[in-house]
Structure 1
Amino acid sequence: MAPEANPFGRRYWEDRYAAPGLAWSGQPNPVMVTEVGLLKPGRALDVGSGEGGDALWLARHGWHVTGIDIAATALEKARAHAEADDPKAAARIDWQQHDLTAWSPKRQGFDLVSSQFMHLPEPARTTLFRSLATAVAPGGTLLVVGHDADVDDLSQRRKHLSGLTYSVDDILAAIDGEDLRIEVAESRSRQARNRGAGSATVHDVVVRASRPHSARAV
């Protein structure tokens, strides 16, 4: 069988999520909470929803969420966790399995499109970010967060992401021409747990953009 073009394709993630316990913390991404917390709830698209930490947080805060992931195992874990933890919020989440290199969301179909640490090789990454930009409804928000390619704090900790990280400029170039108003475009530092003891400072790119209410829905 030929290897997948993307080393982090379906087989990788199915194996990762098949392991006992949680692959991640189960908590929502802090940047997402900070950037989305004051938005009016509506229809949200959580891209690469994993075990559902972001989707469940959004649903608890009144959003109707579509959680997309490539791995059926992740979606099963996310659904089970959400239904056990908060059945009312879980009822507001629609879990869907899609390969984001071959699927595009509905044009202007969401009030929030959130992509947290989606690291794809080019040209798939640019294609994905552009399609996510087109999915933002008038008055809606696009939020893209990822490891910063311009800051060398991943070279030793995450060598496996070589060539898959991106910069603020990469995101802005991908969504250029989609009639979005750029509200945040920066590299932001945070403390992350080390695999050893203590923590380390890492840097994330954060881009938040909105489509004006006056934009014509198509």
Structure 2
Amino acid sequence: MDAESWDARYAEQAHVWSAEPSPVRRGDLLRPARWHALDVATGEGRHAIWFASRGWTVTAVDFSGEAIRKARALQEAHAPGTAGRIEWVRADVVAEPPRPRAYDAVAIVYLQLPALQRRRVLRAGADALAPGGTLLVVGHDSTNLTEGVGGPQNPAVLFTADDVAQDLAGSGVSILRAERASRPVGDDGAAALDAVVVARRA
């Protein structure tokens, strides 16, 4: 989908995504030296706001202007104490890579792209890490189609933790965690399956 399509999707309902951050993300917050995070494809800003509410300075990027507008509104309504901690940037994360060695943490959460684009974004995210910085990648796992619930139904944009590890090979980061994780959705015991990778630059 292009930026205009995502603008339309974000505009047609109050919230496309939950206002709460992905639960698999919370346990992966490390203690960087400068506390500057990059949230790639921020969407409605839930993860950027979560970082900022814990004292981080955040650069949050998305190519949808409507998503950025809603993210600003969410921050103002639910996290006014984070004012000034988030820089909202409209940019295409595939075409416009972030500054190298600039961030203590880079989060790429539920950015579902075809393999070549995914690899480009992941490697750019790894390159954006400062020494000692942490990269967190979370996405709908390929097995979610047959074993989980929800998420994109196009297998071309799904991936596994092994796919991410292969994408990052030779990028200068070490894989700390690469696994499939179950994420509860709803109250009926149903679960979605995510690929989760944590990597760190030496």
| Fold in common (TM above 0.5) | yes
Match of 1:31 in 2: 24
Residue 194 of structure 2 is aligned to residue 204 of structure 1? yes
User: 5+ residue gaps in structure 2?
Assistant: none
Q: CA deviation at 1:122?
A: 2.7
How many residues end up aligned between the 2 structures? 200
Residue 179 of structure 2 is aligned to residue 189 of structure 1? no
Native 8 Å contact 1:168 1:187 kept in 2: yes
Residue 50 of structure 2 is aligned to residue 50 of structure 1? no
Q: CA deviation at 1:153?
A: 2.2
Q: CA deviation at 1:172?
A: 0.8
**SS in structure 2 at match of 1:123:** helix
What amino acid maps onto 2:77 in structure 1?
Answer: A
User: 5+ residue gaps in structure 1?
Assistant: 1-7, 213-218
Q: What does 1:5-154 align with in structure 2 at a 5 Å threshold?
A: 8-36=1-29, 38-40=30-32, 42-150=35-143, 152-154=146-148
Provide, for residues 86-145 of structure 1, a one-character-per-residue CA deviation record: whole Å limited to 9, x for no partner. Answer: 333131000001112211011111000001111011311111111111111101100001
Provide, for residues 40-77 of structure 1, a one-character-per-residue CA deviation record: whole Å limited to 9, x for no partner. Answer: 46110001111111111100101000011111001011
Structure 1 Cα separation of the partners of residues 97 and 195 of structure 2: 23
Residue 45 to residue 127, structure 1, CA distance change in 2 (3 Å) = same
Per the normalisation by structure 1, the TM-score is 0.85
Between the aligned residues of both structures, percent identity stands at 37
**SS in structure 2 at match of 1:127:** helix
- Return the match for 1:174 from 138, 143, 167: 167
Per the normalisation by structure 2, the TM-score is 0.92
Q: CA deviation at 1:192?
A: 1.6
Provide, for residues 7-54 of structure 1, a one-character-per-residue CA deviation record: whole Å limited to 9, x for no partner. Answer: x22122111111231111111111111211x43461100011111111
| Aligned Cα root-mean-square deviation (Å) | 1.7
